Amino acid sequence: MAANSGFKLKHLLIFACLIGVASAQLSTKFYDKTCPKAVKIITKAVDDAVSNETRMGASLLRLHFHDCFGCDASVLLDDTSNFTGEKNSFPNANSLRGFEVIDNIKSQLEESCPGVVSCADILAIAASESVGALGGQRWNVALGRRDSITASLSESNSDLPAPFLDLSGLITAFSNKGFTTEEMVTLSGPNK
Ligand SMILES: *[C@@H]1O[C@H](CO)[C@@H](O)[C@H](O)[C@H]1NC(C)=O
Ligand SMILES: *[C@@H]1O[C@H](CO)[C@@H](O)[C@H](O)[C@H]1NC(C)=O
């Protein structure tokens, strides 16, 4: 790919991520009419990425987790003059991986159904498909998340649970986001 088309693609992706989606109600059928192939496209790309490199399954799950103290794809946003993004927060810098897999999925979806599937939903489906690709249990992903047009370095630093948190710190970090202790344990398991 020529440097120039790479540049354009990147801007198309950022623009496409900003379009967001139209409803506030999450549903597993959200794209059934507007982009029926969405899940199939994501599944194929995740399967390819995981069979190329097994570790990518865990990386995509973690990318969703680190987006999901918000679940709005803000983790994907690069710094702009208006905000400093989350990519370089302590929990994310030099450890978040899989951005290129998400970019590849987004560009395929933009060809199939332009401006329809949010990046936040791509992250959510990719996480479930990653677990499935590694032989684990997929879950039903309710869809219709909207993409953020901003990001917060400070919230990423303060809200994401640090790897050295003790049990009560973990319980608090997750309960601040509405999770029970049991849900925290369930969510923490595959990330170790
Ligand atoms: C396959 O995985 C390697 C790392 O193991 C990576 O460098 C390469 O870009 C990947 N190729 C594709 C097509 O994803
Ligand atoms: C920064 O915010 C202003 C005002 O909302 C907006 O017009 C401008 O496009 C933004 N710049 C970037 C790089 O997002």
Residue spans of the domains in the chain: they are: 2-188
Which of the following is catalytic: 35, 46, 59, 66? 66
- Supply 63's token pair: 């990318």
pLDDT computed for residue 33 by the predictor: 97
Best mutation site among 44, 53, 101, 104 for ligand 1 pocket (most ligand atoms within 8 Å of CB): 53
Question: What distance in angstroms lies between residue 67's CA and the mean position of ligand 2's atoms?
Answer: 22
Q: Return the CATH architecture of domain 2-188.
A: Orthogonal Bundle (1.10)
Q: What is the pLDDT of residues 60-72, one digit of tens each?
A: 999 999 998 888 9
99: its two tokens: 């951005």
CB-based pocket (< 6 A), ligand 2: 80-82
**pLDDT tens-digit series, residues 129-183:** 999 999 999 999 999 999 999 999 999 999 998 888 999 999 999 999 999 999 9
Can you tell me the distance from the alpha carbon of 50 to that of 174, in angstroms, rounded to the nearest whole number?
28
Binding site listing for substrate: 161
User: Is 11 labeled as catalytic in the residue annotation?
Assistant: no
Confidence of residue 21 (pLDDT cuts 50, 70, 90): very low
Q: What is the mean pLDDT of residues 80-96?
A: 94
- 62, 181 in Cβ contact below 8 A? no
